Structure 1
Amino acid sequence: MRLFKLTVATIFRRKAWAICLFAVLFLPFVLPLISSASEKPVLLQPARIQAAWGTLFICTMFWGFFAAARLGESNTRSGTGEYFRTTGLTATRQLFEIWLAIFVYIVPLAFAAAAVCLLGAMPSESSEKAMWLTLNFQYLSLFLLVFAPLLALATALASRFGGITGFVVTFFVTLYGLYGVGYLDNMLKLEANSALQTLWLYSPQYRFADLTQRLYFKTGALTGEVFSNMVLYFTAILAVNTGISRLCFRTSSNA
């Protein structure tokens, strides 16, 4: 795991992860105080929920994807990947270790967002507390399941096509899956189109993993069947993204 340790140390020295952790932990408590939510105490907890998960998504999509793309490009262009290849570390193993090094920084951010909701927005009704714990666990699980392969995708694309391409493509794929497919769905409801229908059918529906509105309106946790189906769906997408990432990833500019 030498490449993993090297990558972890590189990310640690750049300190951007600390800024993201600070933002996820403190912005949910600061932003509501300078917004209209401060005028109505009943809105403070919902505002914290939106700020916590919103900050997490922003940090992951900007810093996480950027760090993944930068490391993927650096591994190829600096000769690091080629060196580790001569020591017997395969391309698949290199991709895994770079991805794992980034993922270990994303996981604490996700837990921090969930902790803010549990400690700073827990319902007062005792009957709702169990539901709240379950819903936050479901949200945390789906978030990690969605973003884990996207980090690998950014790394792999950057290793082959450059850091800018790796970041931009992954960023817009995520943005499209979170919001674009919703607009496309609304368009299809107004006017049928076979080409757009096919596009929508094969699009990654990342929007289903965004449970912020369920937390905001306290509509309850997902049923076991629905949650299991979502896990299976995003696991299938994970498999597809993993395959694409492995095909794109390379360890040297000449390979």
Structure 2
Amino acid sequence: MRLFKLTLSTIFRRKSWAICALLVLAFPFFLPSLSSSAENPALLKPALAQAAWAMTWLCTIFWGFFVAARLGELNSRSGVGEYFLTTGVSATRQLLEIWAAVLVFVAPLGLGAALVCIIGASPALPDERSMWLATNLQYALLFVLVVAPLIAIAIAIASRFGSITGFICSAGLAVYGLYGVGYMKLLISTEGSPLLTWLWSSSPHYHFADPTERLRYKLGAIDWSDFPLLVAYFVGIFLIHTALSRLIFRAKATA
């Protein structure tokens, strides 16, 4: 696990993770005061919950995926990957160790957003509070299932085509899955194109892992009979994307 420790130490020493932690844990308490929720106390808690998850997704997309892409490129082009190959660390294990190190810093962002919502925005009624707790924990798990394969994609593509390409591909896929598929559905309802319908159905529907609407309107937790099916859906995407990442990843640059 030497590459894992090296990558973990590299991310930790750059300290940019601390800015993301601050944005997720502290900024949501300040952000609602800049909106209309300051004039209506009833909107304060929903606004705080929305801000917490919005900051989590923004930090993950613009920091987490960039860090993953940057490390993937450095591993292949700096000679570190080639060195570890000579010591018996396979390319598969190198991808796994870099991925695990990045995930150590990204996964807690989802848990941090859940804790902000639970501590700062829980409803007063006991039944609603327990449902609020379950909802946030469900989405913290879905968050990890969504971002984990995207981190692998960022590392793999960057190792072959550069960090900018790796970042754009992973971030673009995340934004498309969170927001783009919704606009495509509206387009399908007006155009009725079979090609667009097929594209929409085969797209990754990451918006299922975004709790913003559910928390804002207190829709409650995902039904526990449906939750395993949703987990299985994202696990399937996880397996497909990680397999593609391994095919793309290279541990050393070609001459």
Q: 2: CA distance between counterparts of 1:164 and 1:71?
A: 12
- Tell me the matched-pair count: 255
Deviation, structure 1 residue 206? 0.7
Identical aligned pairs, as a percentage? 55
Give 1:107 shift.
2.0
Unmatched segments (≥5 aa) in structure 1: none
For residues 209 and 226 of structure 1, what CA distance do their matches in structure 2 show?
13
Aligned residue type for 1:218: K
- Give the alignment of 1:84-163 within 5 angstroms: 84-163=84-163
Matching of residues 181-192 of structure 1 within 5 Å: 181-192=181-192
Q: Deviations over 1:69-89 (max 9, x none)?
A: 000000000000000011000
Shift of 1:225: 2.2
**2-structure distance, mates of 1:224, 1:47:** 26
| 2:180 aligned residue | 180
Match of 1:21 in 2: 21
Gaps of 5+ in 2: none
Q: Give distance in 2, aligned partners of 1:213 and 1:219.
A: 8
2:4 is matched with which residue?
A: 4
Instruction: State the distance in 2 between where 1:194 and 1:211 align.
Output: 30
CA-CA distance at 1:106 after TM superposition: 1.1
Aligned CA-pair RMSD: 0.9
Counterpart in the other structure of 1:204: 204
> What one-letter code is carried by the residue in structure 1 that aligns with 2:103?
F
CA drift at 1:187: 1.1
1:210 deviates by 1.0
Q: Equivalents in 2 of 1:157, 1:128: separation in Å? A: 44
Structure 2 residue 10 is matched with structure 1 residue 38: no
How far did 1:111 drift? Answer: 1.3
**Does residue 1:223 correspond to 2:223, yes or no?**
yes
Equivalent residue number for residue 242 of structure 1: 242
Question: CA deviation digits over 1:171-225, x for unaligned, max 9?
Answer: 1111111111111111111221111111111111111111211111111111112
Find the aligned partners of 1:132 and 1:250 in 2 and give their Cα distance: 43
TM-score, scaled relative to structure 2: 0.98
Separation in structure 2 between the aligned mates of residue 152 and residue 129 of structure 1, nearest angstrom: 35
- The DSSP-based 3-state class of the residue aligned with 2:26 is helix
Using structure 1 for the length normalisation, give the TM-score.
0.98
SS in structure 2 at match of 1:254: coil
